[in-house]
Amino acid sequence: MFDITRRTVAAALVALACMAAFTPTQDLVAQETTLTGDWGGVLSTPNGEIELVFKVAADEEGALSTTLDVPTQGAAGIPCTDTSVDGKKLHISGCQIPGSGGFDGTLNEEGVMVGDFNQAGQMLPLELKPVAESESE
């Protein structure tokens, strides 16, 4: 009887170890989903402030795409050609604006994307925060 109990406990421990190895942690699930959505911020330039909203989406296969809205200038749906995520880092480039443009940033513990907006070879600091759907329309 002692041998059966030991085997049962050993089998249960192996099963738990396998479940832990193949179950995504909460951090990984959050990391995969938090970078999609609308990210907005205000860019400070020598000519004034410009509101920017990057709309990052994933298709059914997980491929990312981004469009850029510039509400300050009445522009919406500007396509960007390259979007990628590496952990908590977001890279967007090829936004079809004069001089091309993009953003590189890292998600911090407060849920803010801290990085730089680049256009025509210039880089300016930009912080992006999640935008509620009603705010971005």
Higher-confidence residue of 60 and 22: namely: 60
Tell whether 13 and 45 lie within a shared domain: no
Helical spans, DSSP H, in 1-137: 2-22, 26-34
- Domain region containing 21: 1-25
Tell whether 56 and 19 lie within a shared domain: no
CA dist 13 and 49 (Å) reads: 58
Provide the percentage of residues in the chain whose pLDDT is more than 90: 67
Would you say residue 65 has pLDDT above 90? yes
Rounded to the nearest 10°, the torsion over CA 121, 124, 128, 133 is: -60
Residue 136 within a domain: no
- For the stretch 25-48, pLDDT in tens is 333 333 344 599 999 999 999 889
Angle at the Cα of 53 (from 134 to 60), degrees rounded to 5? 80
- For the stretch 95-112, pLDDT in tens is 999 999 999 999 999 999
pTM: 0.72
Tell whether 109 and 44 lie within a shared domain: yes
Domain count, the chain: 2
